[in-house]
Amino acid sequence: ESGVAVMGHIGLLPQAISVTGGFRAVGRTATRARQLVDEALRLQDAGIFALVLECMPPNVAREVTECLEIPTIGIGAGNQTSGQVLVFHDMLGMLSHPHHEAFMPKFCKKYASVGHSIQEGLQDFRKDVEGGQFPSEEYTPYAMKEDEKKLFDNLLEKDADDRHRRHDEAADRYVKADEYEKLNLYGPK
């Protein structure tokens, strides 16, 4: 309502790790996975423009993505989201931000130049995401036990019609607002 674009975030919330007791995958039980689906739908209804899905089983991330009309961005959530992100400091094994290089004070001695390696790493990441090689199963470690998967599927079946209706209503709202377009997060292919 105030014109501020908001991106939602569910699953692992790094800013809350001191409260939750550390970095832990989320949604590995059917009940918690179902709660994540509901959280995503509520956030979409509240008006977010996209949703980050962090550290959850890929089947849960896929279901959330399919339920929503807005794009999802996965980080540790499998390859069935609308797009992927990694913290590039982690991805490239860095401790400092490359943006600092452009604004290096005159009194600082430059001990290394990692710009070219960073560029190559980011280009390789983009290529792997676009080509569907990342994240592979090797980088999707969060799984549900088979009995929890079945329970999750059963929970989803109970209100599948309602979720489809809500999905269609959200699509109609976006079309009527004349702001709807399917996003390809990495430009035309």
Q: Which residue in the list 54, 63, 120, 138 is annotated as catalytic?
A: 54
What is the SS3 string spanning 156-173? HHHCHHHHHHHHHHHHHH
What is the token pair recorded at 180?
Answer: 């709807």
- List the structure tokens of 135: 């994240």
Of residues 5, 103, 17, 18, the one with CA closest to residue 54: 17
Alpha-carbon dihedral 21, 22, 28, 31, rounded to 10 degrees: 30
Residue entry with tokens 């329970």: 151
Is 54 part of the annotated catalytic residue set?
A: yes
Active site residues: 54
